[in-house]
Structure 1
Amino acid sequence: MATRDFALELDRFADSGSLGDGLARLEGRSVLLAVGDMAKAAAALIELDGVARQIVLCPPGAGADSLAALARAAAADALVHDADAPAPQIDITTRVACRLPLAALAAPRAARFVTEWAMPTSGTSGPPKLVAHTLATLTAAFHPVAGQRWATFYDIRRYGGLQILLRALLGAESLTLGDPNDGVDAFLVRLGEAGATHISGTPSHWRKVLMSGEARRIAPQRVRLSGEIADDATLAGLRALYPNAHVEHAYASTEAGVAFVVCDGRAGFPASIVDERGEVALRVVEGVLRVRSNRAALRYLGADAPALKDCDGFVDTGDVVERRGDRYLFVGRRGGIINVGGAKVHPEEVEAALNAHKAVRASRVFARKSPITGALVAAEIVLRDGAAADEATKRDILAACRAALPAHKTPSFLRFVAELPMTDGGKVARHG
């Protein structure tokens, strides 16, 4: 397992660790894990599972206020921090430093707990919530396969990246992780040098790959998209760039777990899998997808936390879907609607129409305030190489949108940009 600055040899964990004598002080505690490099986070996770009662995975770069809020929600009573940086100023007395390279253990580890793994949701539609998983729920969606060289654009302290870390720990040959200071070009160079065969990221990550001059540094066997709606244009672009790769998109969320994987190269998912009986059950209730499975989180954490599941055990995902023929297509988030004079607009639906244009590589749709309608639809466009950023191109894109969408969904404002803003989780940032 390797990041830009560290490499971990996993077979060394039998007699080595990153927490030293401090591991014994963490036994049975709820531990806030707040370190920098992902290799350190991975090392601490390996050591804490079975020793700590609960691990709280803190997002990278979280400030003291955010860490304190996570600690309160999880009733954390211990902190693992980075030995190479000042410890966060929060009210936790028991503190253990995490450092690399690994050092020999003074005594063997003893696993006595079924550790809960707690992590915040992405916060796509409102403030993040803290949810609790176990290793069983986190790994129920996959079976380890030896010899795969995995890599991910995700941070492993988020659900999508943690899934790839656990896949790697259970069977892969190697795992290559990114760094917040790496651009996509530098990461692709490292992936090529590592010979990565299986690579995961959000559609936004992969659109950056499609725009990168280093995209051919890699020759993946499997390209996996998750975390956002995968549109036909992005899927087609990846198939063209990597014709020997299996391109798939997975539907998953921190609360619901991994629900299904779509392998037919098309956006959305077959309607036939709804109401099927099996490990995962799907329902569409008032246009919103619900999921029940043994992969879902156990519960939300914190005072006054809402119920995670309904009376039948289904998680309300908040993702709006629409049936078109034999297929369901994702329309957008229930909480992300733009209200244009009382008419509802899902940004993702408009982006799909924009991305279908031959000149468009990627787009971002968001609300712009209007004194008359309350909001208008605005869009930013990243053009494909060779497309002219002029008024003629703009008119052509908007004409294609009008042909595909009702008038209130067509962007009233459109501008060309070099790149789109992304959240720390690798998704398109929705703020205006």
Structure 2
Amino acid sequence: MSPREIFALRDYLDPGLGGRTISDARHSASLTDIAGQTCLKGRLAELSGRSVLLAVTSQFLTGLVMLEIDGIARRMLLCPPDLNADHLQAIVEDAEIDAVVTDQPERFAGFGIALVVTSGEELEAGPRARTERATEWLMLTSGTLGLPKIVGHTLEGLTGAIAADTPARGVRPIWATFYDIRRYGGLQIFLRAVIGGGSLVLSEPGEALSNHVARLDEKAVTHISGTPSHWRKLLMSGAASAFSPKYVRLSGEIADQAVLDGLQQAFPDASIGHAYASTEAGVGFAVNDGLEGFPASMIGTNRDGVEMKVVDGCLQIRSRRAAHAYVGRHAAALTDGDGFVDTGDMVELRGDRYHFVGRRGGIINIGGLKVHPEEIEAVINRHDSVRMSRVKARKSPITGAIVVADVVLADGSDASRGDEIKTGIIADCRAHLAPHKVPAMIKFVDKLDITAAGKLARSDA
């Protein structure tokens, strides 16, 4: 690799672009000045060429460290805050970690890591570091109860979907995300802010949603992303009226028509888009026409280095933006022999459009018949009185299992009309679904649990 092919995040911190910041509820730092500052107390040089675990408490400090060590470390593994502590030793060994950057050094006593560097949220003046190498970015998969997989990316691949030929002209975007930036979806927004010449407002753990939205409004956020579950939660809170972004982005879960329409109603002046991305496949595509699913014309063509095909109903992607490998002692192959990533996401062609129907591993069995919960939820969520739903299987002594649904009512729905609403939901399901997919029971609940990754928590009863 020649020197001119090596680039790092610091190379996008143009000192001529003033007024750019990265902030959370308690801190703010200038993205204009940060290239000449350090949060590592002068110990950056010790990390040169090392495999570094980045395990700090806050997203804000995570962002500062990523900006500082990219292009210096050999590889950098982002540690999400919800990582099971029992998995940490195996991950350290699989990623060949020989250094850790943390604000909790006592946490890593006894791990046998050669170098522990303590970081702090107070920036100090320091020399502007020179990019030495292309750092390998490592991320952990989410959504599994077992040991998460380690996924290897390059910065070039991670930023492949970001238009960054030149710094943004005119009014630069102010990004925010409900995601954590140590997960793929949040990292994409962090990179968009840094590379696109904008600013970034980070979420804060435990912050009341109304306070968070007020802060987004105060910071004049223009672009914001989250999962459909994040957005349903916001729509239920009543806080959406205090916020007016220009661009709303959904990813991470199926964006059904109900949530897209709800966001368009809440933010009539905003562009509403949903994107398909995964930690392994990278950013596949974005859809900005306000409709669920994606045009069938995207399949079988090469669009900006991304090719997609459908095999046995499952979406597969070959892309320059994809991860290059799983990392670890017993890592499986990430792609097939032709370079395609099997996403595990099931799609169905309806007319000239493909619709996502669920995860291959999330199928529930009803009397020997396969059911995708998300397909049923999409129908339930269209009902005017419904804000969100979760479908699952429940054991039955007669059929073995039945479909049941937990439903959160939309604001303004009259709970006294419960029987009428249930009847309407069942009628909608019977009109659009096969008989075995129609819920046998509907239960109204006040809320549905969301995972740390921003997705609807699922477990069979």
User: What per-residue deviation string (whole Å, max 9, x for no partner) do you get for residues 336-367 of structure 1?
Assistant: 00011210000110110110111101111123
What is residue 323 of structure 2 aligned with on the other side?
297
What is residue 18 of structure 2 aligned with on the other side?
none
Check conservation: 1:125, 1:333, Cα contact below 8 A.
no
What is residue 132 of structure 1 aligned with on the other side?
152
Matched, 1:22 2:48: no
What is residue 40 of structure 1 aligned with on the other side?
61
What is residue 430 of structure 2 aligned with on the other side?
402
Post-superposition shift, 1:376? 2.6
Q: Distance in 2 between matches of 1:415 and 1:90?
A: 49
Matched, 1:54 2:75: yes
What is residue 122 of structure 1 aligned with on the other side?
142
Q: Distance in 1 between matches of 2:450 and 2:336?
A: 32
Q: What is the Cα-based RMSD across aligned positions, in Å?
A: 1.7
Post-superposition shift, 1:371? 4.3
Question: What are the equivalent positions in structure 2 for 1:212-361 lying under 5 Å apart?
Answer: 212-278=237-303, 279-361=305-387
Q: Secondary structure at the match of 2:318?
A: strand
What is residue 10 of structure 2 aligned with on the other side?
none
Runs of 4+ in 1 over 6 A off after TM superposition: none
Tell me which amino acid in the other structure corresponds to 2:31. Answer: L
- Cα distance change on mapping 1:77 and 1:368 into 2, 3 Å: farther
- The 10-residue stretch of structure 1 (405-414 or 188-197) with the greater mean CA deviation from structure 2: 405-414
- Cα distance change on mapping 1:71 and 1:326 into 2, 3 Å: same
Check conservation: 1:56, 1:118, Cα contact below 8 A.
yes
Question: What are the equivalent positions in structure 2 for 1:141-160 lying under 5 Å apart?
Answer: 141-144=161-164, 145-146=168-169, 147-160=172-185
Matched, 1:423 2:451: yes
Check conservation: 2:366, 2:436, Cα contact below 8 A.
yes
Identify which of 190, 214, 238 aligns with 1:189. Answer: 214
Q: Secondary structure at the match of 1:382?
A: strand
User: What per-residue deviation string (whole Å, max 9, x for no partner) do you get for residues 196-225 of structure 1?
Assistant: 011111111111121122212211111100
Q: Distance in 1 between matches of 2:354 and 2:385?
A: 27
Consecutive unaligned residues of structure 2, counting only runs of 5 or more, are: 1-21
- The 10-residue stretch of structure 1 (415-424 or 373-382) with the greater mean CA deviation from structure 2: 373-382
Q: Distance in 1 between matches of 2:79 and 2:90?
A: 11
Tell me which amino acid in the other structure corresponds to 2:291. Answer: R
What is residue 17 of structure 2 aligned with on the other side?
none
Identify which of 183, 191, 194 aligns with 1:169. Answer: 194
Tell me which amino acid in the other structure corresponds to 2:441. Answer: F
Q: Distance in 1 between matches of 2:437 and 2:146?
A: 23
Q: Distance in 1 between matches of 2:453 and 2:296?
A: 29
Post-superposition shift, 1:195? 0.4
Q: Distance in 1 between matches of 2:213 and 2:456?
A: 20
- The 10-residue stretch of structure 1 (132-141 or 299-308) with the greater mean CA deviation from structure 2: 299-308
What is residue 101 of structure 2 aligned with on the other side?
80
- The 10-residue stretch of structure 1 (68-77 or 299-308) with the greater mean CA deviation from structure 2: 68-77
- What count of residue pairs does the alignment treat as equivalent? 430
Q: Secondary structure at the match of 1:260?
A: strand
Post-superposition shift, 1:370? 3.4
Q: Secondary structure at the match of 2:29?
A: coil
Identity over aligned pairs, percent: 52
Check conservation: 2:82, 2:452, Cα contact below 8 A.
no
Check conservation: 1:125, 1:335, Cα contact below 8 A.
no
- Cα distance change on mapping 1:4 and 1:88 into 2, 3 Å: farther
Q: Distance in 2 between matches of 1:317 and 1:292?
A: 10
Tell me which amino acid in the other structure corresponds to 1:167. Answer: R
Q: Structure 2 length as normaliser, TM-score?
A: 0.90
Post-superposition shift, 1:112? 1.6
Q: Distance in 2 between matches of 1:57 and 1:372?
A: 48
Post-superposition shift, 1:194? 0.5
- Cα distance change on mapping 1:259 and 1:124 into 2, 3 Å: farther
Post-superposition shift, 1:136? 0.3
